[in-house]
Structure 1
Amino acid sequence: MTPRIPRLWTVTAAAILAASFLVSGCGREGASSGNSGGASPSPSGASADQSMPAPAADQAEADPSPAAGSGLAPGSSGTQTVPVEPDVGASGADAQREPAAGPPEADRIAYLTFDDGPSGNTESILRILRESGIKATFFVTGKESETDKELYRRIAAEGHKLGNHTYTHDYTKLYKEPGAFMEDVRRLDRFLQETVGQGSDILRFPGGSNTRLGRRKGEPWIMPQLVKRVRAEGYQYFDWNVTSTDAAQAVQPKADIISSVMALARGKERIIVLMHDVTVKKTTVEALPEVIRGLKDMGFRFAALDKQSFTTQFLKSD
């Protein structure tokens, strides 16, 4: 006969089994949610861990533009310390181009000019120019000794320009009336043609185009007529925008000559430098090498004048 299990035991055993099952299920749910009370779903339906903030690496990938000044390349994780090279592509080559520091040196031109020669200094001036590898312009007057004739020829043969500074350089005759001036100019041209084989189409007025020297009291000022006349007869005339001051006195100190040229050349792209080729002016010759070096250091190249060159004119012809 099978023994009868009391009803109370049966109910108790069933209750124990049910309790064991419930405890096991709550452990798994707690582990997955990290919250014993569970997590509410996000509005988009994402799970609780999907709604958490992204790690730093993911944020960097999501925002390819790093903060200004961060030094980080686009897409970096925020932990790189390797310097990033500029992104220079077919259309980005300018990113590494240096800004222009100023006009190219070749754009600065110095025209050295020597008035009143030839003289006892001409040979020394030519030597310095030759050693420096530069060309200049000599506004000469008429001197008929064989020594002077040879100097005219040397000036031309060494690649310098002969300019017309009138034959006599006599203010009282030159500036009496336009016809007298032009006859003196043509006389020098004829002389140069006979001596060197070429005349000149450039000219410098003794005293400059605005000179009042040689004008007698009460006489009309003829310079406005003269500047038009020389242009009409095919000449270009040149004054200067840098003076060496070597005409300020018979012998100007060498240091004054150098400092004047350097100071007046600053800020200019084209300069016409006034100097004199006169035997007594030894300091002009002494200063010349330093003047040339100083102008080279300032970025100037050197050239001789011609009819199409830059010009400075104190008194305009029009």
Structure 2
Amino acid sequence: MPLMKKKKMLKKSEQTVILAIASFIVFFIFLQVLPLQSSKERNEEVTAIASSKVTDVHTSDEENSQKESSEENQERELGHSSKEQPSAEEEPSEKEPKNKETEEENLAGGNKESSKEDLAGQGGNKEKQKIVYLTFDDGPSDVEEELLDLLGKYHAKATFFMLEPNMKKYPDAIKKMVNEGHAVGMHGVTHDIKKFYKSKSTVLEEMNKGQASLEEISGVRSFLIRTPYGSVPHMTPEYKQAVNEHGYKLWDWNVDSNDWKYRDGRYVENSINQIKKIEQSGGEPIILLHSKSSTLKHLSSLLDYLTENGYVMERIEEDMEPYHF
């Protein structure tokens, strides 16, 4: 075989061997790299899965926390609602007081936090209340209906001892007195000492005339009387016996406001000073006032004092024991 051809064959064989070695090396490297890549991918996959699990755990914890918080809020709301709105089994009957305090308040005649009008109203136990009697002489007058309106605002009742000529002059005022629950009585006809107290007959005549006119106007037959200037010293035992025999109830007063003299309003302070003394002695004030515009002008100050100090303003009843000087 020629030398050149032999060299070429050898060279080709060497190239084949080198190529085979190179291929083996590449294959070996590939085998080494592939597991690393697979391992890396697996690690990344595991890491991702682990991270996802952790995220899911946190998410679950947050959801559970929110759920528990929501359930706690619902429980608190349900508990609060149940306190504010008792069930039908727990709801007190309308006929029964809800508790002892409510029962005591109902027995006392209303809410403890009463307004002026409540204090001056007619509710409650009179045995525990301070009573005052407002009495107005010489009416009715041109301010009578305004006077009655003021008393109405304070839920105050009063007693009116009226002169017969004024009854005829202001009949509507008398009807208003009766309709609003005030007491009405007689104060005579003339208001003249010499004429009224001339004899027991003149005393009776004036009271009988006033009684007849009052009944004609209002339909009320009253036996309440107050004599002009009071029973002392002009109502003698003989005079008193005469009116008693005719069923009249003679009333004087224990608080003289002197409103006819103190027209600037000083009569209010004068009355209050006397009321305090009466209260200390355990008595009930019977206040002498007059149906005059000057009295009406300052009357609200007196009514305020009485209301704020717990007095209930009541009318005189015919079955009460009369007060005399």
Same fold (TM over 0.5): yes
Q: Distance in 2 between matches of 1:184 and 1:145?
A: 13
Residue number among 277, 284, 300 corresponding to 2:295 in the alignment:
284
Aligned position for 1:155: 177
Aligned position for 1:228: 241
SS in 1 for 2:267: helix
User: Where in structure 2 are the equivalents of 1:22-171 lying within 5 Å?
Assistant: 106-143=128-165, 148-171=170-193
2:309 is equivalent to residue 308 of structure 1: no
How far the C-alpha of 1:272 sits from its partner, in A, is: 0.5
2:289 is equivalent to residue 275 of structure 1: yes
How far the C-alpha of 1:144 sits from its partner, in A, is: 6.1
Q: Distance in 1 between matches of 2:172 and 2:192?
A: 24
CA RMSD in angstroms comes to 2.1
Tell me if structure 2 keeps the 8 A contact 1:244–1:260: yes
Aligned position for 1:60: none
Structure 1 residues 145 and 294 mapped into 2: Cα distance closer, same or farther (>3 Å)? closer
SS in 1 for 2:271: helix
* Structure 1 length-normalised TM: 0.58
Q: Letter of the 1:265 partner, please give it.
A: I
Query: Which segments of 5 or more consecutive residues in structure 2 lack a partner in the other structure?
Result: 1-124
Q: Letter of the 2:290 partner, please give it.
A: H
Residue number among 272, 285, 296 corresponding to 2:307 in the alignment:
296
User: Where in structure 2 are the equivalents of 1:150-299 lying within 5 Å?
Assistant: 150-212=172-234, 223-247=236-260, 249=261, 252-254=263-265, 256-266=266-276, 267=280, 268-278=282-292, 282-299=293-310
SS in 1 for 2:165: coil
Q: Distance in 2 between matches of 1:308 and 1:145?
A: 24
SS in 2 for 1:200: coil
Tell me if structure 2 keeps the 8 A contact 1:236–1:307: yes
SS in 2 for 1:262: helix
SS in 2 for 1:116: strand
How far the C-alpha of 1:297 sits from its partner, in A, is: 2.1
Structure 1 residues 107 and 308 mapped into 2: Cα distance closer, same or farther (>3 Å)? farther
SS in 1 for 2:222: coil
Tell me if structure 1 keeps the 8 A contact 2:256–2:287: yes
Bigger fraction of residues in helix: 2
* Structure 2 length-normalised TM: 0.57
Q: Which has the larger radius of gyration?
A: 2
Tell me if structure 1 keeps the 8 A contact 2:138–2:187: yes
